[in-house]
Amino acid sequence: MNKLIKKSISTLLCCIMILGMSACSSTAVTEKTTEGSGSSVVNTSESTDISTLQKWGDAIKGKSDGETITVAMAAHPSTDAFKTMEDEFTKLTGIKVVWDVVEETNLKNKQLLDAQGAGSYDVFMVDAFWMSEYASKEVLAPIDTFVNDTSKTPAWFDYEDIMPAYRNGIAGAGGVNYGIPTAGETRFIAYRTDLFEKYGKEPPKTMDEFLALAQFFNDKEDGLYGVSMRGQRGIHFASGWMSLMYNFGGGFLDQSTIGSDKVVVTANTPETLKSLQFYVDLLKCAPPDVGTYTHEEALGAFIAGKTAMWLDATALANQITNTETSTVADKVAFVPTPKGPAGDGAALAGWNLAIPNSSKNQDEAWAFITFMASKEKSVDYVKAGGVATRSSVFDNAELAALNPSYPAQKEALISANGLVEKGLS
């Protein structure tokens, strides 16, 4: 193993142990939310017709008119999108909303303090990486209590329409789902169609092809490099590495041992080391200052036309296709993260709407989530700046025209679900 790899491991292992333990355990796989929560479905008002948005609103208004809920949300584009829908929600249901929008760094502590004391919040916006801790502290109500109750959840909400990678990968912990995914991302590749056509190349389907293409385009033309990725020492290097680590069968921890007294570290397995060597080889095909790159610099290099390819978060795609910010907007296409020796896989992250056990207005809180996160309102939500999490949104021709990366994003999420099915995300 060369000096660069040894140095990378010694520098990162300590922080990666913490990151990996948090990231991997917080996004536990939950195939369905009907098992493991101990909840039962009680349909108390089967005769109530909630088949349309208006009929549902009338039913809610009959029980909750004049109630006020308080929501603890992150400063995030999805929050801004939800706010544009507030007036319609209140008009339909009679429920008023008080917004407490907090920077992400302070939101978690504020939520946990409230859940242990005042109980003044009714809806939490929860990062997937917090789920494991919230579950261990019994902060949140299992979401199946609401989803499976047809008297509370109309068919037009359509829980199954949420992409499985999000539904089963970022919404729970310990076999129980606690949230409804409303924003998320995985990783995929953007590539320069003009360069690929010029040199008769096809986009990569495997990791070997990805590296070969990066090496081919590196210095092929003046000022051109093969690929742009995160490379800054610490968390950004780790994040970039994790974008492809699991495709090699590697990992930082043995997932089956998490939660036990003897957590097994796998950072030095042959598969993990091979993925690190691969990542280092890719970075050799990046601009020479890649060691300073966070996601912002990596994106900046690609949209400035300096690299033939880019591997990073799907959430950044709209900046690549934006003609006002990108010099390659009209000559770019996207493909999922390539398969590796261990198959498909890509990291997942995202946000959920959830209900704290301490809420005194849980039915009203669920009405808010039902409306804001429903399939019925998903197009309005995305047009207002929200982040797609539903299959129907990715398949929507109008929205795909606005965001040409949607088909590839959906493919990337299907690929990422392969990782979820292995118990990783």
Q: How far is CA 164 from the centre of its chain?
A: 12
Task: Report which of 339, 425, 327 is spatially closest to residue 128, judged by C-alpha positions.
Answer: 425
pLDDT in tens, 269-278: 999 999 999 9
Give residue 258's identity as a one-letter amino acid code.
Answer: I
Digit-coded pLDDT (tens) for 105-145: 799 999 999 999 889 999 999 999 899 999 999 999 999 99
> pTM of the full predicted structure?
0.80
Contact 419, 348 (CB under 8 A): yes
The helix (H) or strand (E) run that includes residue 405 is none
Q: Are 124 and 70 in contact (CB under 8 A)?
A: no
Residue whose entry in the numeric block shows the structure tokens 């690190």: 276
Q: What is the CATH number of domain 187-336?
A: 3.40.190.10
DSSP state at residue 265: B
Hey, what long-range contacts does 400-408 have (CB within 8 A, 24 or more apart)?
Answer: 403/317, 403/318, 403/321, 404/321, 404/333, 404/334, 405/188, 405/190, 405/314, 405/317, 405/318, 405/320, 405/321, 405/334, 407/334, 408/188, 408/333, 408/334, 408/335, 408/336
Question: Which amino acid, residue 372?
Answer: M
Kindly report which listed range (160-169, 220-229, 415-424) carries the lowest average pLDDT score: 415-424
pLDDT of the residue at 345? 74
Residue 73 has pLDDT above 70, yes or no: yes
What token pair was written down for 181?
């995914």
Q: Where are the domains of the chain?
A: 53-185+348-394, 187-336
What pLDDT shows up at residue 181? 97
Which overall architecture, per CATH, does domain 53-185+348-394 show? Answer: 3-Layer(aba) Sandwich (3.40)
**Which of the four pLDDT bands, split at 50, 70 and 90, describes residue 400?**
very high
Residue 84 has pLDDT above 70, yes or no: yes
Fold identical between 53-185+348-394 and 187-336?
yes
**Helix (H) and strand (E) counts for the chain?**
19, 11
The Cα 166–Cα 172 span in angstroms is 10
- How far is Cα 15 from Cα 48, in angstroms, rounded to an integer? 53
Distance from C-alpha of 216 to C-alpha of 4, rounded to nearest angstrom: 23
- Could you tell me the two tokens for 49? 């017709």
Beta strands in 297-410 (DSSP E): 307-313, 332-336, 349-354
